[in-house]
Amino acid sequence: MKLRLSEDYVIDTDDYRREGLRIAILAMSGHGKSNAAADIVEDVLDQKGQTIVLEPITEWHTLKARYNNVVTVGGEFQDLPLEHDFAKEYVHASLENGVNLVVNVSDLEEETEQRKFVADFLWNLYRSEQKYRRVVFLAVEEADTWAPQMWDQTSKQSLARVSLIAKHGRKIGIFPIFITQRPADFHKSPLSQCNVILFGKFTSSADLDPKTGIMYVVKKLHIPIEEKDIINLETGEFIAWDKFGVHRIKARKRTCPHGADTPLVAPVPFAAGVNQTLGSLKEAIQKAVEAKKKEKSLVESLQAELTAKDEKIKELEKKADIKIAVSEMLKGERPAKETPDITAKITELTKTYENRITTLEHEKKEKTERVLALESEKADLQEKFRVYESLDKALTAILESKLATHLPTNVRGLPSDVPSEVVVGQEVPRVIVSVRKPVVEIDEGNWRGRLVLLVADGYFDEARRLTPVRERLQQDYGALPNAALISNELVELVKMHLLQRRQEGGQWVYSVYPEAKERIERKEVRV
């Protein structure tokens, strides 16, 4: 696939077949970064490739003016509403049907919610792509929002997912395009992974800073560019750095209108399969919203009842106080039985409604756990079906071949030491086949799964001590793990024959076990 940014500059994806293509487009506001990104996305769509765009403000919906398989999720020009719990469904529909998505998160009012949705979306994209292996160009607008240099607890997860896509997405066909006007605020881990960078004009000292800005990146990657080269660029001009060197280019004008300049578009009719996908997703989202509304309505109703009972209890307490006071005035003593009776009623009413709310919450939790269990069971059954379906086809072909040629010998294709008989008209054929079911479950949510990913990525091809391993995990996931915990996990990987270890200078060093990568590729590892 050839991506033409100007008449004399083309990015050929074949040149990056081995290492994967990762693009960063950096330019101050109004100097052509969105136009350059659109040039790439339009070239991908023109060549029947697939794209997904993540944006915090409405811009990319204008792709619908030309392409009939672009669906917008959320935002002012939405084809589907944005539901924060439906990240998995959006990803699945896109990869299953080859639909191009523009996902606008502006419908989520809180930035924390937007970051959580983006993190969930990227995680589901990464996991699903391991199944589909469909080449997807992922354009991430305002990348510094999701992967900030100065991260906190609210942005930690989205940063981890962006870094994951930048480092490992190439293996499964995800080609990211990071777009930002604040490179000083964009985390340097995913930025340093990019092998094509377009430097647009910058004048801010913060963005040019040699310690945190683009001049830091220039120095880190040994790019022969000076600060004055960046400052003197015109609008739409870029200094492109790639594996072949440095090029000064003038980006061509995009075909579709700019969404920020042209808020209204006349979309072309959807392609045949897209309407069906939209209908299914809309129906699923509508059902989920209705269920959520019913649940919310029930909770609100119970809360209203509880509030009303609280008011009634307060009213009864006031009446009781008045009655007690009057009784004491008239009789000169406190009634012995009235106060305990009222207190008992208040306690009983309060306990009744607290128990009712607790029961409803327990039922909700049980239903949620049941749904998760059913989904897990469904996934296991589907995996078993795929394994035994291929086995059934193989055995059927073998039996048909033997019956056709009347050969009562061992079934062809099986090992010689596996007994098998086919006797026509005498007894039921007996076929014994040894099957080893491949299982793979690498959970990057725990430290052992993350260590297995490092094994697969070649990090342990060289012998590593404990301290560098912890530092690498901190670099990848934004947190320094406990030394004792990682030491124990490394020992577990040794027991699993993924790593081997030896002592050097009184310390253990770990290196890859000869067959470890092959076992991981054959999906024989579960962590």
Mean pLDDT of each 10-residue bin along the chain, 527 residues long: 91 91 93 92 94 93 90 91 90 90 93 94 93 91 94 92 92 93 92 94 90 88 92 94 94 83 61 71 72 70 80 82 74 52 71 80 81 76 69 70 55 46 44 41 83 92 94 90 92 92 92 90 79
Q: How far is CA 287 from the centre of its chain?
A: 24
pLDDT of residue 400: 66
Q: Which residues contact 212 (CB under 8 A, 6 or more apart)?
A: 149, 184, 206
Length of the chain: 527
Sorted by where each starts, the structural domains of the chain and their CATH numbers stand as: 2-252 (3.40.50.300), 447-521 (1.10.10.10)
What residues form DSSP beta bridges with 98? Answer: none
Q: Coil, strand or helix: which one is 350? A: helix
Instruction: Give the angle 278-281-282 at the CA atoms, nearest 5°.
Output: 80
> In b/e form, how buried is each residue of 505-526, taking b as 16+ CB within 10 angstroms?
eeebbbbbbeebbebbeeeebe
Torsional class of 506: left (φ above 0), alpha (ψ -120 to 50), beta (otherwise): left
pLDDT of residue 100: 93
Q: Which residue has the tokens 């059934």?
A: 392
Q: Which residue has the tokens 């996934």?
A: 379
* Phi, psi (degrees; rounded to nearest 5) at 176: -80, 150
Q: Coil, strand or helix: which one is 407? A: coil
pLDDT of residue 303: 78
Q: Which has the closest alpha carbon to 119: 89, 148, 146?
A: 146
Instruction: Give the angle 276-280-281 at the CA atoms, nearest 5°.
Output: 115
Q: H/E/C letters for each residue in 17-83?
A: CCCCCCEEEECCCCCCHHHHHHHHHHHHHHCCCEEEEEECCCCHHHHHHCCCCEEEECCCCCCECCC
What is the token pair recorded at 268?
């072309």
The full DSSP string for 198-247 is: EE-----HHHH-TTTSHHHHHHHTT----HHHHHTPPTTEEEEEETTEEE
Longest dimension (CA), the chain: 114
Instruction: Give the angle 350-353-355 at the CA atoms, nearest 5°.
Output: 105
